[in-house]
Amino acid sequence: MVELKTDTSIDAMHAAGQTVGRALTAVRQAADVGVPLLELDEVAREVLREAGASSPFLGYRPSFAPTPFPAVICVSVNDAIVHGIPTRYRLRDGDLVSVDCGAVLDGWVGDSALSFTVGRPRPADVRLIETAERALAAGIEAAVVGNRIGDIAHAVGRVCRAAGYGIPQGFGGHGVGRRMHEDPDVPNEGRPGRGLPLRPGMVLAIEPMLIASGKDAYHAAGDGWTLRTSDGSRAAHVEHTVAITDAGPRVLTERR
């Protein structure tokens, strides 16, 4: 069932989203060659603590997971697409890093992700990240009253495929509200004009995931959480929480 949020609820979700935005900005600023991933998780934890927020990631255990998630951010490096667990791994020059973060504030959830490089960037990684951001922008632009979920999916997928990138099937965006994952699913590829109509009050996480090689195959790593590209190619992941309003899409997790 899709819950429609009131304007007051959307404002409250914006406050949660701003906390997420601050956490992601702080993590990106802290990320450098030699920094362990666990330190980035602690940076995000401190931002959440200062805001009086909690994490929807910490302790989360969906049906596919062998153990509860042990951190407040997912950090996926190089060939990891999503759901990477922060470890003692120290960032290296040229690493491609995707960070996903959530916050719960006053009972409402914000969810967002960004990708960036550490040290000297590879031109191919820069193109991959830029395309992911363009796909996200296209999805947000399609998130208007009168469109359907398929219009968002088509907008995201068209940008990804036109650039020659792969899309991991079965993973994409979702509704957001009191819980991190709510109805409806928001795929990263689909047919325009199909799916659930978009109505004012719907709040969606739109999150493109791109595989550099153009292939779609992936597998779960030994930790049961991290999804990696099957051919070892690099991946990028970006995300915003977006409210559908009569005035157009409202991004709730913008970063300053």
Q: What is the pLDDT of residues 151-187, one digit of tens each?
A: 999 999 999 999 999 999 999 999 999 999 999 999 9
User: What is the rounded CA–CA span in Å between residue 78 and residue 64?
Assistant: 23
pLDDT attached to residue 19: 98
Coil, strand, or helix at residue 122? coil
pLDDT attached to residue 64: 86
Using a cut of 0.95, tell me whether the model's pTM lies above it. yes
User: What is the rounded CA–CA span in Å between residue 234 and residue 211?
Assistant: 6
pLDDT attached to residue 256: 78
- The separation between CA 178 and the C-alpha centre of its own chain, rounded to angstroms, equals 17
| Omega before residue 68 within 30° of 0, cis | no
Low-confidence ranges of the chain (pLDDT < 70): none
Angle at 129 between CA 242 and CA 31, to 5 degrees: 90
